[in-house]
Structure 1
Amino acid sequence: MAFPLVFMLSLVTSLVAFPFDRYDVYDYGATGLGATDDSHAFVSAWEDACKSETQSARVIVPRGTFLLNPLMFNGPCHPKTIHFIIYGTLISPSSPKTWKGLDSSQWIAFKNLTGLNVYGSGLIDGQGMTWWDQSCRYHPNQVFKTLTV
């Protein structure tokens, strides 16, 4: 009986010594269906990872399709390293009108950070065709307003 007790104590001790540093967007209400805006879940997961008292935090984007409106992930953050791991698909809104009043050059942006790693086997789909379809090249007689920042 001593072995299981020692094992359980070491497991509990390791959980206390190394706080949980994994922030899955599903845990913050993301649907992953690609039809509803999951932006709030991403921002909430980021904020908790950024405030984490660990040396390294991970924001996990699991499999699924996540519709994201323009986002800014701000720092500075407490962890020395934040891993933003993408296994699913991130898609932007299909209409450029979503950016009305916003900087149209940014969809997903990170600001005031050091130690950020973005990787994974997922896909980032900015829905570029709708942007290219509006260009002067394809519509030379249409008047376009430029966005000044």
Structure 2
Amino acid sequence: MMSQGTVNVDDFGAKGDGSDDREAFKKAWNEACSKGAILVVPNRIYRLKPITFSGPCQPNTAFMLYGTIEAWPQMSAYEEDKLHWIVFDSVSNFKVDGGGTFNGNGKKWWQNSCKYSNNNLAVTFYDCKNLRVKNLSIGSLGADKSEAEVSNVIVNRATLTGTTNGVRIKTWQLNFPQSSSLD
């Protein structure tokens, strides 16, 4: 990727203090998208209520996540029929990188999913061409012999390029006792 400008969410008011940083992220996204810049999320924990990052954007717009973006913990922030947390819509030649984490607080949602018509929180990519992510992973599920359900994973009309594993669901391997052989 060519050298280009950066837009830091902190410069738009993101605090990473447990409050909703959605407005700062929207402003930073609009700036990065309009300039074809790299939106930078520093190495801190930011909480967001549902948000849509919409294009079309200028070429080479990127999302560099070094920290963690955490889903807003109160379910009342989400519409019952559309449990979309983060949506990337209509962006082309778009790169998500940085090694950070989108933390959807899955356990809380799995435990309460029956209250929400068996829907779970989603990070959604719509109409994204040449979406470059190293890994789009959901996991790790089944630790300590626990049960977990994955549903409503949406990657719609998107082309993933340059990925190591594409889209994957990571699970813990069950360790079965080894049987002894009879000689």
Q: CA deviation at 1:146?
A: 6.7
Conserved 8 A contact 2:4-2:38: no
Query: Which residue in the other structure is 1:38 paired with?
Result: 21
Residue identity in the other structure for 1:86: L
- For structure 2, list consecutive stretches of 5 or more residues without a partner in the other structure: 120-183
Deviation digits for residues 95-124 of structure 1 (CA, Å, limit 9, x no counterpart):
2221036620x2111111101100112121
User: Which segments of structure 1 move beyond 6 Å, counting only runs of 4 or more?
Assistant: none
Q: Which fold has the larger relative contact order, with Cα–Cα distance below 8 Å and residues 6 or more apart in sequence?
A: 1
The size of the alignment, in residue pairs, is 117
Structure 1 residue 128 displacement after superposition: 0.8
Alignment gaps of 5+ in structure 1:
1-18, 137-142
| 1:84 has 2:63 as partner | yes
- Taking structure 1 as the reference length, the TM-score comes to 0.71
Q: Whole-Å Cα distance in 1 between the matches of residues 27 and 116 of structure 2?
A: 36
Q: Radius of gyration: which is bigger?
A: 1
2:110 to 128, 132, 136: 132
Is residue 95–residue 130 contact of structure 1 (8 Å, CA) maintained in 2?
no
Name the Cα RMSD after superposition: 2.2
Give the Cα–Cα distance (whole angstroms) in 2 for the partners of residues 146 and 65 of structure 1: 28
> TM-score scaled by structure 2?
0.58
Q: Is 1:21 the equivalent of 2:10?
A: no
Q: Is 1:113–2:96 an aligned residue pair? A: no
Q: 1:95 aligns with which of 69, 74, 80?
A: 74
Aligned residue for 2:19, secondary structure, equals strand
**Aligned sequence identity (%):** 32
